[in-house]
Structure 1
């Protein structure tokens, strides 16, 4: 792991007398020591989710804004590993922290994490384009080129959604360009499988290029074992993948599963059939005509 130091220019959050420690991420955990009661800044230049052990809830304060993490320990912390996951790509960086208190309480330098050399991307990138040496953690979007993929997008998007819901954070496969999106709360899914006695609810949705994947929880409401058939799904979907092929009777551990629905150029709400409600024709009759008819 290579470490460099440089001074930030005037006008930034630190003066030129405050150096910044450069740490290069090369798939080896990065040690970031802390002092009790002293805040330390980590610059990442990406929006990240931080995986923190529950044991540190009361002793470690973490704030994130503008591509920077602010860590402050209120008590000594034994060596502990944090996981920083890029929200956009899913890539994970491992950081080992340890907080100590003692006589030497000199000001700790901020840390900037950059990515080191890496091999070719998984989905069809040209090995000749592999990066050499250290590079900023956030590449210049203007210089980015569309990625060629050997695996169809609906396949990798479905796999990413399943891993995001059920796999440990450290094992989620990196998928450049994917973003998690918000769907409308209370989305009516009663017409998704109208011929089956199931309740459907939205768990999450992700987008990659012009494709969307929506994870739908299916719960059996009957005492029968149900076979799940994609032909019974109502909507404009590119692919439909069931986590399991059957639903057990209500009340058993197998009465719930997930279906992953991929759409192209439209969200799940736009791909569903319109809701149809029962109509009482009598409400449109005028009272006078109803009375005349009765006579």
Structure 2
């Protein structure tokens, strides 16, 4: 064999030997990016860090609905489709507690969502896969309790949310808006739901501006708090019969508004419905 040809062959083999590890590392990196971060739900809050401007997916065992606190509504876009949450932060924010409710018979998940600015060296965050405990572990947990206690644990939150009447829902919404933070009660089974904070033509006559500010869901019922502002120079007496929409109950914080510009030209109405505000309206 020609010695020059043999040397050239050895050089080519050595070059290929250097390239193969690089290709292997690249394949490993791509696989790592496509592998979701798996978290087993054990009732401890799940931390979900986000990077501003980068959408992150959180997968659940079944269909879910998310309830955003009012403070996160302008900062975080959330969509729930077939058991997957699509989260996209537009601004940075500190860890905030968020409830995610199963649409079937699953649990209520607790997430601590935060958002930070991404650096030039920051990579894409992987998806998060939320898993339930194996049936064997769940069976062991149930065996540590009496059958009565186990059944009570599974149905307590559902019964409490379904047992809330119109008055209880209205009182809960009013406390959320007007009570000091330290006095706001926690009601199991009640979750906040997003609402579009755009003015709506709720009151017949066009004299009152109406703006939805917050909404909550308990079982099969919703309660929405709507801010009402008198835009006329005359006092107005509010009448629930002049409200557009299909409501199970309507309660005014105050039923009389003073002329525009006065301290008492604004109040709230709490609307109970069997569907979301935009559908009931």
Per the normalisation by structure 1, the TM-score is 0.44
Per the normalisation by structure 2, the TM-score is 0.45
Higher helix share: 2
